[in-house]
């Protein structure tokens, strides 16, 4: 499936983006390739077994969600490279 330059313009307008003519040509090609790939996927739909266990006669292999204490918080804090009170100290992310 191919997409026209007019459709690229419409998508750009809806997205509030501006593109040069060269960028529009590139986007047209890339979007057409993506839609072609989606068309290929549609052709094989239904030929791949579903992974949804609710539609199969399978069993739930997930374990129960149970809280388990694995170790004391002090053990984790002792391993941290920096510490401030009961918190791990890290480098500043925002300056």
What is the model's pLDDT at position 48? 62
* Positions of the chain with pLDDT lower than 70, given as ranges: 45-61, 95
What is the model's pLDDT at position 12? 93
Q: Where are the alpha helices (DSSP H) in 1-95?
A: 5-15, 21-44, 73-79
Among residues 47, 20, 49, 67, which one has the least CA distance to residue 12? 20
* pTM, 2 dp: 0.46
Question: Model confidence over 16-41: pLDDT tens digits?
Answer: 999 999 999 999 999 999 999 988 88
């Amino acid at each position: 499936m191919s997409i026209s330059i007019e459709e690229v313009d419409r998508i750009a307008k809806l997205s509030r983006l501006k593109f040069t003519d060269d960028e529009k040509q590139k986007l047209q090609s890339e979007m057409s390739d993506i839609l072609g790939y989606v068309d290929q996927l549609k052709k094989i739909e239904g030929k791949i077994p579903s992974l949804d266990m609710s539609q199969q006669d399978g069993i739930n292999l997930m374990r129960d969600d149970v809280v388990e204490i694995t170790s004391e918080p002090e053990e984790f804090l002792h391993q941290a490279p920096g510490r401030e009170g009961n918190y791990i100290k890290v480098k500043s992310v925002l300056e």
